[in-house]
Structure 1
Amino acid sequence: MKKLLLLFLLIYFSHNVTAQNIKISKRVIKDSIHLDFINPFYASMEMNLHPLDSTKSIIKVNTYGLLKYNDTLKNALVIPINKIEDTTKINVKSYIKFKANFGDPNSNIDKNYRYTLPYPKGKKYKIIQSFGGKFSHNKPHSKYAIDFGTKIGDTITAARGGIVFFVKEDSNEYCKSRKCIDKGNKVLILHNDGTMAHYVHLDFNGALVDFGDKVEVGQAIAISGMTGFTTKPHLHLVMYKSGGISIPFYFFTLKGKNVKN
């Protein structure tokens, strides 16, 4: 007999930028619970699962999956029913270590792409922290990030076209320590070469786009704010490849001159 139930799992990505929800399909087959993990995001996702030392002798784990949009990692976790206290409330983290990252490691990244500045034409902003900044741009997930000194209420535009695969706009909190790192509102956009743009520290209810929207370069996508780990209002812009690794990116000016920040 098989029973199917959709659940949700709260997971943290390895670069600790945000928490996401993946879908879980629960099947009861004979004397075991089979959990399938489903990627509901337009961006591909790498999943790495490993049993805890205390559970590896009693469960089965499908340790790796590279899932495109709506793909399923079958039998991600198989647990004997007699090892579960309440089959309606399964705490996955009690059985496995789970790590996931957006992005496909097989993507052919366009390293020559030149980005448009992420604000309307005619506007000018000071760069308050750039590549390798000592305050917070000093880790693999943030090394190649740029902070623009925008003010609360300023318009943010897409530096490159793509599809919106995540929006967070429910926070009005900030602080000057990393304990607020998950409080930052943001819009995440997938580009056609597999790279991903993160626009962070947006205003409460400040997204002008929604999940699944296709956006064009220069399109207004959000309102700048002061949320998350920050000491002042600004836009934090970073491009990622798979593995939660930030990558260098370059702008062009109206005069056609390349600008490296």
Structure 2
Amino acid sequence: MKLQGAKVKICLIALCVAGMLQASFAQSLKASKTIKQDSVYLDFINLFSIPVEVNLSGKDSLGSEVRFKPYTLLHANETLKEALVIPLKSVKDTAQIQIEDYINFKATFGSPFSKEDGTRYILPYLKGMQYEIMQSYGGAFSHKSTSSYYAIDFSLQVGDTVTAARDGVVFFVKEDSKEHCPTPKCIDKANKILISHKDGTYANYVHLDYEGALVNVGDTIKAGDMIGISGMTGFTTKPHLHFVVHKARSVSVPIRFKGVWRKKLKQGKLYRRKR
């Protein structure tokens, strides 16, 4: 990540897919550096169109040398001034500052003060198409964690079209991977699109094809718009679309679909998008 006057590595952390590993996003918070007197001052800047909770904790080995702000809710395009202050005597090279050498950094999308508004979603594929549910809420293979419990795996094949399930704004796109494997070590290899909603939740469309995004960060999307091409990337044994809606702190939430009377889509059943 290129920053002002320094290379500072900051990763935005979120739980994805099975929630078994932490996936670091390349599109992340930005940091700007200022040197004043005997210290290096770092500001954190949220360039996403969605709030980000930032949690910082100190390294035991550094004691009280480093000053930081333990918790902040950064709104879209907001800057956290002097988030981290490092004494110059503790910095080996001011041009090559690695943040994880000084603090433990964790951040997650969303505001804890938001509340789901009960909006009904549409099935995330083209009208008239039908797909089988490979895994539903609480699925035994990988839908057991807080971040994935309410995820749904639709049996889209490589090359099938993925559509937006709800109006929103695209705030994250990953489409550079060609890799997959049947173990969590490939969890970071999943191509995906994240779309924020007006109630503060955001949808994850995961396992897309290489260069399979049809949208860009910042695009405003309407329900039913074509947003991507299904693939087989990341932690998976078969092609499918992993769809889950999160609120703050990567907590998955149950949703209802238009035209489907069931609260929970049933594993093994086919569902046709009628609207």
TM-score calculated relative to the size of structure 1: 0.94
Change over 3 Å in CA distance of 1:10–1:60 after alignment to 2: closer
Runs of 4 or more above 6 Å deviation: none
Q: Which residue of 1 aligns with 2:25?
A: 19
Q: Which residue of 2 aligns with 1:90?
A: 97
Q: Which residue of 2 aligns with 1:69?
A: 76
- Note the alpha carbon deviations across 1:203-223, whole angstroms, 9 max, x for none: 000000000000000000000
**1:189, 1:5 → 2: CA distance?**
32
| Partner AA of 2:70 in structure 1 | T
CA-based RMSD: 1.4
**2:220, 2:51 → 1: CA distance?**
16
**Does the 8 A contact of 2:5 with 2:95 survive in 1?**
no
Which one of 229, 237, 251 corresponds to residue 243 of structure 2? 237
**1:160, 1:38 → 2: CA distance?**
28
Following superposition, the deviation at residue 22 of structure 1 comes to: 1.2
**1:6, 1:56 → 2: CA distance?**
24
Following superposition, the deviation at residue 109 of structure 1 comes to: 1.6
Change over 3 Å in CA distance of 1:17–1:115 after alignment to 2: farther
| Partner AA of 1:139 in structure 2 | S
Bigger fraction of residues in strand: 1
Following superposition, the deviation at residue 5 of structure 1 comes to: 3.7
Instruction: Give matches, 1:171-210, under 5 Å.
Output: 171-210=177-216
**Does the 8 A contact of 1:148 with 1:236 survive in 2?**
yes
**1:242, 1:28 → 2: CA distance?**
34
Q: Which residue of 1 aligns with 2:222?
A: 216
**Does the 8 A contact of 2:231 with 2:239 survive in 1?**
yes
**2:235, 2:158 → 1: CA distance?**
15
Number of residue pairs matched? 255
Q: Does 2:171 match 1:131? A: no
**1:174, 1:99 → 2: CA distance?**
26
Q: Which residue of 2 aligns with 1:260?
A: 264
Following superposition, the deviation at residue 68 of structure 1 comes to: 1.1
**1:70, 1:5 → 2: CA distance?**
20
**2:222, 2:74 → 1: CA distance?**
26
> What SS does structure 2 have at the residue aligned with 1:240?
strand
Q: Does 2:55 match 1:55? A: no
**1:201, 1:225 → 2: CA distance?**
6
Q: 5+ residue gaps in structure 2?
A: 16-21, 266-275
Q: Does 2:56 match 1:34? A: no
Instruction: Percent identity, please.
Output: 51
Change over 3 Å in CA distance of 1:223–1:18 after alignment to 2: farther
**2:24, 2:107 → 1: CA distance?**
11
**Does the 8 A contact of 2:14 with 2:24 survive in 1?**
no
> What SS does structure 1 have at the residue aligned with 2:89?
helix
- Note the alpha carbon deviations across 1:69-122, whole angstroms, 9 max, x for none: 111111111011111110100011011001100001111321x21110000111
Change over 3 Å in CA distance of 1:17–1:85 after alignment to 2: closer
Greater RCO, CA 8 A, separation 6+ = 2
TM-score calculated relative to the size of structure 2: 0.89
**Does the 8 A contact of 1:7 with 1:23 survive in 2?**
no
**1:6, 1:165 → 2: CA distance?**
25
| Partner AA of 1:239 in structure 2 | V
Change over 3 Å in CA distance of 1:128–1:138 after alignment to 2: same
> What SS does structure 1 have at the residue aligned with 2:193?
strand
Q: Which residue of 2 aligns with 1:9?
A: 9
Which one of 160, 166, 169 corresponds to residue 163 of structure 1? 169
Q: Does 2:154 match 1:148? A: yes
| Partner AA of 2:124 in structure 1 | P
